[in-house]
């Protein structure tokens, strides 16, 4: 799954408040895919096979992380880059704490 399966490039640009000429589609997609990969790694939920399976908090967290990646794209920064607490909280709400696919439970 790619970030553009969840959101259009236009919506992502609106979120980071940049017009089409200010950031290329390629760069925006790279940041968005990295943000989505981070969300999936934290949540560890193999049951999400298409965009409709991804919960709203994870989608919102992806946008927040996208904004952070765009804002802090330089390797060196005058500000200390920290974890976005709202994004982290939303991801932990949706985390599969079991660590994989849930086992089948036999019905009596």
Question: CA-to-CA distance for 34 and 21, rounded, in angstroms?
Answer: 21
What pTM does this model have?
0.77
CATH code at position 28: 1.10.3230.30
- Give the length of the chain: 108
What is the model's pLDDT at position 45? 84
Domain housing 43:
3-93
Better-scored residue on pLDDT, 71 or 6:
6
What is the model's pLDDT at position 84? 77
The answer as to whether 100 is a domain residue is no
Residue position matching structure tokens 């399966």: 5
Question: CA-to-CA distance for 79 and 65, rounded, in angstroms?
Answer: 17
Residue 2 banded pLDDT, cuts 50, 70, 90: very high
The 3-class secondary structure across 79-90, one letter per residue, is CCCCCCHHHHHH
The answer as to whether 85 is a domain residue is yes
Residue 61 banded pLDDT, cuts 50, 70, 90: very high
CB neighbour class for 53 (10 Å; exposed up to 12, middle 13-18, buried from 19): exposed
Q: In total, how many domains does the chain have?
A: 1
The answer as to whether 107 is a domain residue is no
The answer as to whether 101 is a domain residue is no
**pLDDT surpassing 70 at residue 102:** no
The string of pLDDT tens digits covering residues 69-88 is 888 776 655 665 567 778 88
The answer as to whether 99 is a domain residue is no
92, 42 contact by CB (below 8 A): yes
The answer as to whether 41 is a domain residue is yes
Residue 34's CB is within 10 A of a number of other CB atoms, namely 15
Better-scored residue on pLDDT, 96 or 15:
15
What is the model's pLDDT at position 58? 93
The answer as to whether 104 is a domain residue is no
What is the model's pLDDT at position 77? 56
Structure tokens at 7: 């959101």
């Amino acid at each position: 799954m790619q970030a553009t399966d969840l959101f259009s490039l236009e919506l992502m640009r609106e979120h980071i408040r940049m017009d089409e000429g200010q950031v290329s589609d390629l760069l925006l997609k790279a940041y968005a895919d990295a943000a989505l990969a981070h969300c999936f790694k934290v949540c560890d939920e193999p049951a999400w096979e298409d965009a409709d399976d991804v919960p709203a908090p994870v989608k919102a967290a992806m946008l927040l992380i996208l904004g952070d990646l765009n804002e802090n794209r330089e390797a060196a920064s005058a500000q200390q880059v920290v974890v976005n607490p709202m994004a982290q909280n939303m991801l932990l709400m949706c985390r599969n704490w079991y660590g994989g696919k849930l086992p089948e439970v036999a019905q009596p």
